[in-house]
Amino acid sequence: MDDSDNSPAVQRIAIAKAGATEEQYIWFRDLADRAYNCRRCPRMEPNSAVLGPLNGRIEARVFVVGEAPGRFGSAVTRVPFHGDRSGENFTKLLEHAGLRREDLFIANAVQCNPKDEQGRNDRPTAREIHNCSEYVRELLDIVQPVYVVTLGQKALDGLHVIEPHAIVLKDDVAKAVPWRGLKVVALYHPSGRAMARRPIQRQAEDYRRLGVILRTDPDLREPAEAPAVNRTDDEQT
């Protein structure tokens, strides 16, 4: 199979399903409202959770989990991984996987921007990740993806709170690992800080491997790829 970004196989990945159901929209809107009004983490700014229509497709088959909104990025733009260096890197890296941002749903281990005492971006604490894991769990139930792609250790920590796993980022990077009936592909975070541990060239290779995993997964084939048999409407994916 040709693994280049322009491979015809890329076109056949059924990243997005036919469309979200009304139930998904209503549930998501309710969840976004609850996150907006959430006060569980004392240092988070009230009414700042980044959760809404700009997070992506509610019916996406690939659900991306980052760490937290950045103060110059999605905390301002409301678009996950957009507006700062991490966002720029992420957008470039996605191309190596043959993915389009608009086909994904993107959230974070915590939905609000954690700041240190000087007002700079800080990493979320274990307590904050625990607090917000309920929202991530519910998002997974709403979106029902086939894949969860985690960006960085904090995203993996968030999944671990929902249900324990044994994924080790350095050992399992860019591999599909079963978890809770889904498949998790762990990648490094695209921030400048993480680039010191995993340079962008190696991350680009990780994303290429992600693209191969997605392109070769029968669960992500368009229905047209399936054997030509008569199907009822109920069987259409």
Residue number, 124 or 211, with CB nearest to ligand SF4: 124
Beta carbon of residue 44, minimum distance to ligand SF4 (angstroms, whole number): 4
Least separation in angstroms between residue 128's CB and ligand SF4 is: 6
Single out the residue of 104, 144, 140 nearest to residue 13, CA to CA: 104
- Smallest distance from ligand SF4 to CB 22, Å: 25
What is the rounded CA–CA span in Å between residue 32 and residue 48?
11
What does the binding site for ligand SF4 look like in residue numbers (CB under 6 A)? 35, 38, 40-41, 44, 49, 110-112, 128, 131-132, 135
Shortest Å distance, C-beta 132 to ligand SF4: 3
Torsion sign (Cα): 204, 141, 171, 195: positive
Query: Distances in Å between the alpha carbon of 76 and those of 16, 69, 81, 129, 179?
Result: 27, 9, 11, 21, 33
The DSSP output letter for 56 is: B
Is the Cβ of residue 31 or residue 148 nearer to ligand SF4 in the bound state?
Answer: 31
Nearer to ligand SF4, 62 or 112 (CB): 112
- Structure tokens given for 227: 């054997």
- The smaller minimum CB distance to ligand SF4, of residues 89 and 131, is found at 131
